Structure 1
Amino acid sequence: MVRTNDDAVADAPRGNWVDRFAPAAVKPYARLARWDRPIGWWLLLWPCWWSAALAAGASGARFPDPWHLVLFLVGAIAMRGAGCTYNDIVDRKIDAQVARTRSRPIPSGQVSARQAGLFLVLQALVGSLVLQQFNRFTFGLGLASLLVVAAYPFAKRVTHWPQAVLGLAFSWGGLMGWAAVFGRLDLPAVLLYLGAVVWTIGYDTIYAHQDREDDALVGIGSTALLFGRRTRPALAMLFVVTAVLMGAGLWTAGAGVAAFVGFAAFCVQLGWQVVRLDIDDPDLCLAIFKSNSFAGWLLFLGLVADCLARQWP
């Protein structure tokens, strides 16, 4: 039975639109899908849009295919929601032991695991409909990502590197955008994907510092616990590797000056995160984590500008 109380989730922004405007019966499901926290689907979306824009430039297109951008947006929202719902079903006992997550819909009793499972299926169907709009290669590639998504909730039980598994899943769009244009994978897309994987490890390490004490008590692993006081140099190294891999992806795709200007701005923003980080300030960690959406805009706009610049005589 769905509880219709108005209990807010502790790790969601105060006064978000779900808490303020969603009908009571919808709120638990909106919270399961993290509709109250759009940063997640933005971070899932960026590799898709980067890859689509990089492929557009490589193919000589004036602009990334708008229809593809819309499909990736809908797919990112649906599949991020499905992934979060699945994660909450698997982690419901762990979430009940962590202060930041015990108010989530399943451990707090707002929905049952069975109701969450039905909602998961509904979101997955939306994601499937999105995939069916692409070519066969892209459709199959998208289905393959589900293997990584399924493994993610269990990674923290066996390794201190669950962020790496998250990166493999969250960065899959780096392959998808290119495949949607060319119907195959090439080196630029693979390099972009690998760079996005390392980028994800970096930003999710920052995020994980909010929970490191609870994670240690519960007995689950994270790179935040692994790096500890060495997080700043570790993060710097991760972001350097990100820059090398993504830069190589742009270079092998034949990207122009505008793309590299956006890429340089992206790298500067990552550097700012390293300098600004204070792992003992959870609110700052969350703010820096969220700033990665801005970093995504910088690179994407540079890639789009490069497409437009190629059309000039």
Structure 2
Amino acid sequence: MSVEHALADFLEANLGRFAKHTGELLRQIPNSPYPKLSDAELIPRMQKPFVATISALRGDLQALIDFSRQSIKPVVDNPNASSDIVAQIGEAIYSTLKVAARECFADDELNYALALAAAAEVTFISNKNSYQAFVDIREARIREREETLQQMTSELDQANAALRELAAPIAPIHDNILVLPLVGSIDTNRAQMLTEDLLEQIVARQSDIVIMDITGVPIVDTNIANYLVQTTKAVSLLGAQVILVGISAEVAQTIVGLEIDLRQLSVRANLQDGIEYALEQVGLGIRPLQEQRRG
């Protein structure tokens, strides 16, 4: 009988004892699940790597390879586990194999040395495949998380794009006239977004006039007033004009109280007046249909 087969038979005959010995070693590994397991849970679990090792010693290396790659999956599920756990498990099993080899060949130093070499070989094969499986699983999960993150980023970009459209619903009412209704509060980020979108629309549509309707803005503070002034300056640099409409009595009082100069803006009472004024600037007007038919 070969040394490998003799060691396999000895392991098989003492499977429970060596499984318990390995379990005691594994309980000493920090950040591992083993310290929390009872003997009733741990010993049957530790018998499995020895069953695979026995198969390998008898010539079935694939059984050990398959087991090593499969058994590492629960370990990878532990977020605190690192690849060091593979070496630690392998060291615990190899320590037990050395004990088994010593007992099996207590009076035969040559066969003991051969048994140690066989134990080292199967341990190396097991560790190599366990480590590769650990890396493969971790890399696969990282790729999955990256794909999920990319998908979430794409969805967020789409949501932000939709939000931009809702936040700045710039509407053309004529070839040369745009209307920008402002609704809700306007912080620095939204103000910048509104200005960027407005300038892009002016360039894209070659507009000459922008009607900014602030009827839906409940409070006009210094930041909003400055936004209106700065946007007007930016629009004028593109050769267009801003008409401000929708200033309520409360907002007017606020602007006066803030002592902000809005004289560079053309101001009209409401959107209708603003549209009529804008049409006048481009040589157009609104007439009743009957009057148009008589004309």
The alignment's TM-score, normalised by the length of structure 2, stands at 0.24
The alignment's TM-score, normalised by the length of structure 1, stands at 0.23
Structure label with greater radius of gyration: 2
